[in-house]
Chains A and B, each alone.
Chain A
Amino acid sequence: MSGPAALSVEDVHGYYGKSHILQGVSLEVRAGEIVCLLGRNGAGKTSTLKAISGLLPPRGGRVRFHDTDVAGWPAHRIARAGLTLVPEDRGIFSLLSVEENLRIAVRRGSPWGMAEIYAMFPRLEERRRNGGAQLSGGEQQMLSIARALLSGPKLLMLDEPVEGLAPVIVEEIVAQIRAIRDAGVPILLVEQNLAVCTSLADRHYILELGRVAYAAGNAEFKADDAARDRFLGVKAA
């Protein structure tokens, strides 16, 4: 299932002002994998994605992407290298139409063009003349993922893609995430929804206080009620 490391984060530290929010995070995403990053609120999940993508430049540590250390690169250069973040707020431009949101993301060399995107997300084609702010939460999430695909990602980071969405939309997005992985793009997923994580991911990391406190394969994690209880405060149902 999994191959050589596409992304390897080694001992990354990050700060917001003086607060030491990432205290040496290390993790790895291998070719063909979906890896889930879990943890309580404030554990540093979003900050980890921001550090990898250059929005929160790491102070110390390495972010190796296909054998190039991209730590300290500006965010746009990291994005152009194919390390693509779909942010938690979805980053939709409300002053642009759906189609404009997509068009500005198009980059040559991406396996996904506008036609492929509209085939994958028919809702976006129906809504293409609408303003970015007029979309539902699910449509915004699809637009955000679609934009990332148009830019030709070599690894996709998704920050809580199904947060606040209706179950039927969650299923749709889960299927799309799986299809993206099957198309050869490994995925690092931050998600609070345990059912989504265990149905998608090959491996899991749990962050606690800015460090990886637990790592396991999917089967092991599913069987480990104690870990879920201890790190996430979720009673096994």
Chain B
Amino acid sequence: MTYLFQILNGLGLGMLYFLLAVGLSIIFGLLQFVNFAHGAFYLLGAYLAYEGVERGLSFWVAMPLAALVVAVLAGLTERLLLRRVYKLPHTFHILVTVGLALVVQELVIILWGPLGGNVAPPEELSGVMILGDFVYPEYRLFVIGFTAILAAGLWWLLDRTRLGAIVRAGSESPSNMALLGYDTLRINTAVFALGAGLAGLAGALAAPIRGVEPFMGVEALGIAFVVVVIGGMGSYAGALAAGILVGVAQSLMATLWPEGARLVIYLGMAGIIMAMPRGLFGRA
């Protein structure tokens, strides 16, 4: 029964990982851009939700607002800074985005202090549910359900709409999109903002579970890369499968062998890279 409990926990964690990683994956697929600042958007989303709740906003307002603000800030950053480095080698992407992540992290420390804080789950979901022999926090169940709905909505957006077709086509050939009259720079900005906004949303949703602290972005970045590498760069289904896989593995390990939780995840990633260099759902 404890395993079931941990699997449920892992599912919730995994869905947050999916939300976090899917933006990184889509951005890489579209722009071939390695974004080490992705964790900073998660960090920012968490702190903005925290700030909103501290100022008396309902969590239901603070959470989407945090994601929206992160998306807007990310869109501006893309336009003013990142767009200039796409054409440079990957090492420049890393330099610029690691720098950006550090700046965001230091700003968070300056604005909110180094210690972090807690975010109470919304009142409606502050209770627990009794599932057979054990109790489970309602908020975590909400996170699983809510992210599942988001995942379905996102799949619909990317797979079934004209906007999704534009994003997929842009990831295949920007110059052919230009020949059809599309301003690929604007598509890039929009997709970048969407991906970052999803990371911000993951941060805001995670805040009531794990609290906020200035280094949560670094941890999230590591996880996001693991998920993207396991799932396959640019793959939506891969991000979903790998997110859940990593979440559940981490949760189970917390019971079986807590010290080895990270080790198992990174070893698992190494194993998958060796067996399937493009990841579970990667395309050539």
Number of A-B contacts (CB under 8 A): 60
Restricting to B156-196, which residues have a CB under 8 Å from any CB of A?
A: 162, 165-166, 168-169, 171-173, 175-184
Given contacts A80-B181, A104-B180, A151-B181, contact A75 B165 (CB under 8 A): no
Q: Contacts A103-B165, A104-B162, A104-B165 given: A76-B173 contact, CB under 8 Å? A: no
Once the chains bind, are A103 and B162 in contact (CB under 8 Å)?
yes
- Who on chain B is nearest to A105 by CB? B180
B-contacting residues, A89-110, CB 8 Å: 91, 93-96, 100-101, 103-105, 107
Closest CB in chain B relative to A144 CB, distance in Å? 9
B178–A54 contact, CB under 8 A? Answer: yes
Q: A80's closest neighbor in chain B, by CB?
A: B181
Contact between A95 and B179, CB atoms less than 8 A apart = no
The interface residues of chain A lying within 8 Å CB-to-CB of B173 are 91, 93
In the complex, what distance in Å separates the CA atom of A76 from the CA atom of B176? Answer: 9
Contacts of A107 in B (CB 8 A): 181
Chain B facing A: main interface SS: helix
Are B166 and A104 in contact (CB-based, < 8 A)? yes
Q: Which A residue's beta carbon lies closest to that of B234?
A: A95
Asked if A95 and B168 sit within 8 Å, CB to CB, the answer is yes
Looking at the assembled complex, report how far the CB atom of A128 sits from the nearest CB atom of chain B, in whole angstroms. Answer: 13
Given contact pairs A75-B175, A103-B162, A104-B162, A96 touches B180 in the complex (Cβ within 8 A): no
Closest B residue to A100 by beta carbon equals: B165
- Chain A proximity of B64: nearest CB distance (Å): 29
B-side interface residues, number (CB < 8 Å):
18
Chain B residues, Cβ within 8 Å of A75:
175, 178-179
Max chain B CB contacts within 10 Å: which of A74, A84, A93, A151? A93
Question: Across the interface, which residues of A come within 8 angstroms of B180, CB to CB?
Answer: 79, 104-105, 147, 151
Assess the A76–B171 pair: CB atoms within 8 A: no
Nearest Cβ on chain A to B133's Cβ, whole angstroms: 47
- Known contacts: A93-B172, A93-B173, A94-B172. The answer to whether A84 contacts B179 by CB under 8 A is yes
> In the complex, what's the smallest C-beta–C-beta distance from A153 to chain B, in angstroms?
10
Contact A79 B169 (CB under 8 A): no
Closest B residue, CB atoms, query A152? B181
A55 near B: Cβ within 8 Å? yes
A53 within 8 A of B: yes
Who on chain A is nearest to B163 by CB?
A104
In the bound complex, residues from chain A placing their C-beta under 8 Å from that of B178 are 54-55, 74-76, 79
CB distance from A190 to the nearest CB of B (A): 15
B26 to chain A, nearest CB (A): 13
Query: Which residues of chain A have C-beta atoms less than 8 A from B168's C-beta?
Result: 93, 95-96
Whose C-beta in chain B lies nearest to the C-beta of A93?
B169
Name the contact of A53 in the complex, choosing from B162, B177, B179 (C-beta under 8 A).
B179
Q: Which 3 A-B pairs have the closest CB atoms?
A: A91-B176, A75-B178, A79-B181
Contacts A/B (CB < 8 Å), 26 sampled: A54-B178, A55-B175, A74-B178, A75-B175, A75-B178, A76-B177, A76-B181, A76-B182, A76-B183, A77-B183, A79-B178, A79-B181, A80-B181, A85-B179, A91-B173, A91-B179, A93-B168, A93-B169, A94-B172, A95-B172, A100-B165, A100-B169, A103-B162, A104-B162, A104-B169, A104-B180
